[in-house]
Amino acid sequence: MRLSKYYLPTLKEKPAHAKIISHQYSLRAGLIKQIASGIYSWLPLGLLVLKNIEDIIRDEMDKSGAIEVLMPCVQPANLWRESGRYDDYGKEMLRIKDRHEEDMLFGPTHEEVATDLIRDVVKSYKDLPLCLYQIQWKFRDEVRPRYGVMRGREFLMKDAYSFDVDYEGALNSYNLMYKTYIKIFKRMGLTPIGVRADTGPIGGNLSHEFHILANTGESTLYYDNKFSELLESEDVESLKSIYAVADDMHDPETCPISQEQLNVSKGIEIGHIFYFGDKYSKPMKASVTSQDGKNVNIHMGSYGIGVSRLVGAIIEAFHDDKGIIWPESVAPFRIGLINLQTKVTEAADKIYKALKSDEVLYDDTEGSVGVKFSRMDLIGLPWQIIVGKKAIDEKIVEVKNRATGEVKEMQIEEAINHFSTK
């Protein structure tokens, strides 16, 4: 993509109202634009990141056997009256009356719709297990939205719903999602920590929050040293069994592991998984005939990932004082190609044409060298190819790794080959 044909409104100055790094950089790097409190438009560069995150999630969800659906944003209140949550939900639910004075709402979550989706169809244990997921915009009317896409009102979420005939099946579904989440976050270059979460009135130990490590994170995580090596093996049973909690669940007095074994790090919550039995299936009458001929309520779980929130969380995890440092798997473009002067346009054009245009953002604009360098650092593409005056006689360009800052000289042909393969 040629920058001269692109829409990338970057900001030089830090917006005064943006308190945290990811909010500042997502505005400054032209990823988003606020249109109302907690509501954003996604600009071209931000949308590319969002889609890359979606693609990774979709790929791993599909591999797990979950099936993608898409439920609507606007839901009828009646489904929530059936589950008993309509009156309880409070002011975070955006309530709507349609032209016929019917009570509707902009879905903050989709347990009711998902249960309704399958209850007339799934009738036998033979139809199970089943796991449906969607990636859909949701709305929570936060009283004080802040931190940009980290805590927006309209936000994109991946939510999955598992349906099983019994507890054992539900546990398998739960563990499969736990493992899938580990895979998803690792592919984004993140270190996920699954911490035990309060299950509220449901009880049991089947609720985990997933936080990713980030020095600027809002939560403090306390977890066993062994967590990191178990992450490698993706051994879910062991991961679930060792000590790992966030601040709200940690008590130094009762902590079962020694100080030496305890890791304390900052993190950001980006996912939450639950098993909740028949909380929805019972009131909403979603049942199946079991293998021994009984009518049983379906055992359900739900599994969320904050997709738009992840854009912020990844920036919190990967940045420096110059800007964002995107992991390659989610970067909007892999390469930033910088043309430093009109004399080298021929060389820079040649490189651009040799590479895949959707992998390269080509700064072909007229402008000062300083502006070009700082903008490219700000938007944080993993690699920069800098075409300066050495490109003319010596056919040499500089290749810079944005994360390490390391710069290497390469022959033009060598650089083209290097970035064409892979």
Instruction: Using CB under 8 A, list all residues that contact a copy of itself.
Output: 5-7, 9, 33, 35-36, 39-44, 47, 50, 65, 67-76, 79, 91-92, 94, 96, 98-99, 102, 104, 106, 113, 116-118, 121, 130, 132, 137, 139, 141, 143, 153-154
Minimum Å distance from CB 184 to a copy of itself? 19
Nearer to a copy of itself, 208 or 299 (CB): 299
Minimum Å distance from CB 38 to a copy of itself? 9
Minimum Å distance from CB 271 to a copy of itself? 22
Pairing of strands 207-213, 319-320: unpaired
Nearer to a copy of itself, 90 or 293 (CB): 90
Whole-angstrom Cα distance, residue 156 to residue 283? 28
Nearer to a copy of itself, 2 or 179 (CB): 2
Nearer to a copy of itself, 12 or 404 (CB): 12
Nearer to a copy of itself, 45 or 244 (CB): 45
Minimum Å distance from CB 81 to a copy of itself? 13
Minimum Å distance from CB 116 to a copy of itself? 7
Task: Report the 3 state secondary structure along 194-252.
Answer: EEECCCHHHCCCCEEEEEEECCCCCEEEEEECCHHHHHHHCCHHHHHHCCEEEHHHCCC
Minimum Å distance from CB 225 to a copy of itself? 39
Exposed e or buried b per residue across 176-207, where buried means at least 16 C-beta atoms within 10 angstroms of its C-beta: bbbbbbbbbbbbbbbbbbbbbbeeeeeeeebb
Enter the DSSP assignment of 144.
S
Minimum Å distance from CB 392 to a copy of itself? 27
Read off the amino acid at residue 51.
K
Minimum Å distance from CB 260 to a copy of itself? 47
The answer to whether the CB of 9 falls within 8 A of the CB of 30 is yes
Whole-angstrom Cα distance, residue 349 to residue 357? 11
Nearer to a copy of itself, 349 or 414 (CB): 349
Nearer to a copy of itself, 40 or 243 (CB): 40
H or E element in which residue 39 lies = strand 39-42
In 3-state terms, what secondary structure has residue 104? strand
Whole-angstrom Cα distance, residue 196 to residue 272? 10
Nearer to a copy of itself, 7 or 254 (CB): 7
Minimum Å distance from CB 304 to a copy of itself? 18
Whole-angstrom Cα distance, residue 161 to residue 25? 34
> Taking the CB of residue 85, how many other CB atoms lie within 10 A of it?
18
> How many angstroms separate the first and last alpha carbons of the chain?
20
The answer to whether the CB of 212 falls within 8 A of the CB of 150 is no
Tell me the torsion sign for CA atoms 374, 377, 381, 382.
Answer: positive
Nearer to a copy of itself, 353 or 389 (CB): 353
The answer to whether the CB of 349 falls within 8 A of the CB of 92 is no
